[in-house]
Amino acid sequence: MLMLDIPPRVHGIIDYFIGLMFVILPTICKWDVLATPSLIFEISGSVIILYSLITDYEKGLVPILTIQKHLILDAVIGFFIIISPFLFGFYDESFTFHLIGGLTLMLLVGFSTTVSSSRSGSGPYFSPTDKRYY
- Nearest to residue 102, comparing CAs of 50, 51, 44? 44
How many other C-beta atoms lie within 10 A of the C-beta of residue 124? 6
Q: What are phi and psi of 119, to 5 degrees?
A: -60, 145
| Interval 49-101: pLDDT, tens | 999 999 999 889 999 999 999 999 999 999 999 999 999 999 888 899 999 99
Contact (Cβ atoms closer than 8 angstroms) between residue 134 and residue 125: no
d(CA 63, CA 132): 20
pTM of the model: 0.82
Instruction: Please write the tens of the pLDDT for every residue from 46-63.
Output: 999 999 999 999 889 999
Residue 115's nearest CA partner among 91, 99, 128, 131 is 131
Closest by Cα among 83, 16, 23 to 54: 16
Q: For the chain, how big is the Rg over CA atoms in Å?
A: 16
**What's the pLDDT band for 2 if we cut at 50, 70, 90?**
low
